Structure 1
Amino acid sequence: MLEQFEDYLIQEGKSVNTIKSYLLHVEGYFKWYNDSFGEKPTQLYRQNVLEYKAYLQNVDKGVKSAKTINAKLSALVKFNEYLQEKGIQKDIVVSKKDNVKIQNESASLATVNKQDIEAFRQQILKHEGNRNYAIVTIMAYAGLRVSECLNLNLNDINLISKEIRVKEGKGKKERLVYINSKIIEAVKEYLKERKKVECDYLFISNKGNKIDRTVMNKVFNKYSDKITPHTLRHFYCSNALESGYSVHEVANQAGHNIHTTLLYTNPTKEKMKSKAELL
């Protein structure tokens, strides 16, 4: 049965590592089933899956974390899907709802501080010039995704009213983002040297075309091993909340839903450790 399951995963286009992981975890379930009932399983039963989950949580000494248990359950979810598609069973007996809930060790998603960001920006200014410096500054202090930043048109940013209109946001939702003097000055300096070409995009390549995001990815990889475009977005959200923005305001500015923004409201490990010393 595992060989047929492997063929099914290959046909779905799963990666080699994913297939290997799924097969290993399903094989682990088969072993537990055989040890428990003295036979090989022909299909999945919900009661058995729940017993297996309890075994992983309370008995199996080799399972150390909720993430490991969830990986094993995810393999069974896929196996259940395979059994259904092949007509071996009709019902769904395991789903993502059965995953063990995980409490984040440090709920704050920001992994870098303002000093890290400023040092990174300075490296970009010194070695990459005003265009990339302006892009990085917008991402760090306006919270734009890299794609949103590169999709900006010249008329999307108003340096007088201190606003950026993001028209190509996630889900094609438009939003108005308010910007600070760091961004204004960075963009002003870039605009002084921007080529006069027939291209509406704010940030253009040396050939006068839209910049490909792979160009920016290479810039980040060149100057930092921990700061990425998404890291800057995390920093923006955490920094905005610490600076007095409400959850609703950050959600609105970043183009998040409230539930996502709430992930940034919890303190970092360092702050929790500092508070522990006050007890």
Structure 2
Amino acid sequence: MSGIEEFKSYLLNQDKSINTIKSYVSHVEDYSRWFQESFGISFTKLYRENILDFKSYLLNIKNLNAKSINAKLAALMKLNEFILSKNIQEDIVVFKTDYIKVQTEYASPAIITRQDVESFRQTILENESKRDYAIVTLLAYSGMRISEAVNLKLSDVNLTAREIVVRYGKGKKQRLVIINDKVVNAIKTYLSERTKLRNRDSEYLFVSRESCRISRTRINHIFNGYSDKITPHMLRHFFCSYALEKGWSVHEVAGQAGHANIHTTLIYTNPSMEEMKRKSNLL
């Protein structure tokens, strides 16, 4: 099989995000290790029989859940597509019908409350990091993804109009995000502090001491340092649920969060898992 770097380039040319590429590559490497351990050789092409054996191994030996198995199969589908394009083989051996069917969860994915979020923001504020406070406030009250936040440039932010242009959204789609006074005030305070930083000339909004743009890893590290419950993605879930609760329409939330499918947004109209458990005790 062609090298992993060629596979990465293939994915990049298809405008896949860096995180998607990392995920695909990791899953392909898992398959490669399994193949090596099973047969004592490296695989050069994909065979239907091997794919089915790998799926059985993941399900019965590794005891992975359906979502994890389907993610690995999706990566192998993309690999199959790649080696077809390289004329390494001529047949498709991984299909969407191989996916394990999963019933869509009914409960809302939002598991943190407004009090959780406000308490978290206050903890960050009292640590006196204006940048971290601005990042947390932005993620909580804009619905933006962490990858979108790290890629924001100063020119993308209009505090007077209370608007942010997300130029690097999922699928390379650009959208306009509305921000409230909490976000505006947090960013304003951060910007006054930013002028004193070594990387103040950076075009990116959020900088660090070491880099002209804060990294996704660094933001995750900040969250882990203050909470074992709240993550950047949970704040996105919180925003979608809380905005709907406060009267935003499903279409407004979908547009703000950059959901490609309205059904993704609709799940936030469902009750939380805790609420469903409470109701079950009423039966």
CA distance in 1, matches of 2:276, 2:183: 32
Q: In structure 1, what is the equivalent of residue 149 of structure 2?
A: 149
Q: In structure 2, what is the equivalent of residue 266 of structure 1?
A: 270
Alignment of 1:47-126 (within 5 A): 67=66, 95-126=95-126
Q: In structure 1, what is the equivalent of residue 43 of structure 2?
A: none
Residue 223 in 1 paired to residue 226 in 2?
Answer: yes
> Structure 2 counterpart of 1:131, which letter?
R
Larger deviation, residues 173-182 vs 135-144:
173-182
Tell me how far 1:132 sits from its aligned partner.
0.8
Provide structure 1 residue ranges, at least 5 long, that are not aligned to the other structure. 1-7, 26-42, 54-60
Structure-2 change in CA distance of 1:16 and 1:178 (3 Å): closer
Q: In structure 1, what is the equivalent of residue 205 of structure 2?
A: 202
Alignment of 1:124-139 (within 5 A): 124-127=124-127, 129-139=129-139
> Structure 2 counterpart of 1:275, which letter?
K
> Structure 2 counterpart of 1:218, which letter?
H
Secondary structure in 1 matching 2:268: coil
Larger deviation, residues 198-207 vs 110-119:
198-207
Tell me how far 1:137 sits from its aligned partner.
0.5
Q: In structure 1, what is the equivalent of residue 22 of structure 2?
A: none
Structure-2 change in CA distance of 1:67 and 1:170 (3 Å): closer
Structure-2 change in CA distance of 1:20 and 1:111 (3 Å): farther
CA distance in 1, matches of 2:90, 2:249: 48
Q: Give the TM-score of the pair, scaled to structure 2.
A: 0.66
Residue 238 in 1 paired to residue 241 in 2?
Answer: yes
CA distance in 2, matches of 1:198, 1:65: 47
Q: Give the TM-score of the pair, scaled to structure 1.
A: 0.66
Structure-2 change in CA distance of 1:203 and 1:90 (3 Å): closer
CA distance in 1, matches of 2:123, 2:95: 47
Secondary structure in 2 matching 1:108: coil
1:214-266: CA deviation from partner (whole Å, max 9, x where unpaired)? 22121112112232222211221122222222221111001111232233232
Structure-2 change in CA distance of 1:17 and 1:245 (3 Å): same
Tell me how far 1:182 sits from its aligned partner.
1.3
Preserved contact between residue 157 and residue 164 of structure 1 (Cα < 8 Å): yes
Larger deviation, residues 203-212 vs 245-254:
203-212
Preserved contact between residue 195 and residue 208 of structure 1 (Cα < 8 Å): no
Larger deviation, residues 101-110 vs 239-248:
101-110
Size of the aligned set, in residue pairs, is: 241
Structure-2 change in CA distance of 1:199 and 1:274 (3 Å): same
Q: In structure 2, what is the equivalent of residue 58 of structure 1?
A: none
CA distance in 2, matches of 1:139, 1:69: 26
> Structure 2 counterpart of 1:263, which letter?
I
Q: In structure 2, what is the equivalent of residue 38 of structure 1?
A: none
Q: In structure 2, what is the equivalent of residue 37 of structure 1?
A: none
Larger deviation, residues 191-200 vs 241-250:
191-200
**C-alpha RMSD of matched pairs (Å):** 4.3
Preserved contact between residue 167 and residue 175 of structure 1 (Cα < 8 Å): yes
Correspondent of 1:249 among 229, 249, 252: 252
Q: In structure 2, what is the equivalent of residue 31 of structure 1?
A: none
Structure-2 change in CA distance of 1:68 and 1:229 (3 Å): closer
Q: Which has the larger radius of gyration?
A: 1
Tell me how far 1:187 sits from its aligned partner.
1.4
> Structure 2 counterpart of 1:127, which letter?
N
Provide structure 2 residue ranges, at least 5 long, that are not aligned to the other structure. 8-24, 39-46
Preserved contact between residue 66 and residue 101 of structure 1 (Cα < 8 Å): no
Preserved contact between residue 223 and residue 231 of structure 2 (Cα < 8 Å): yes
Structure-2 change in CA distance of 1:223 and 1:150 (3 Å): same
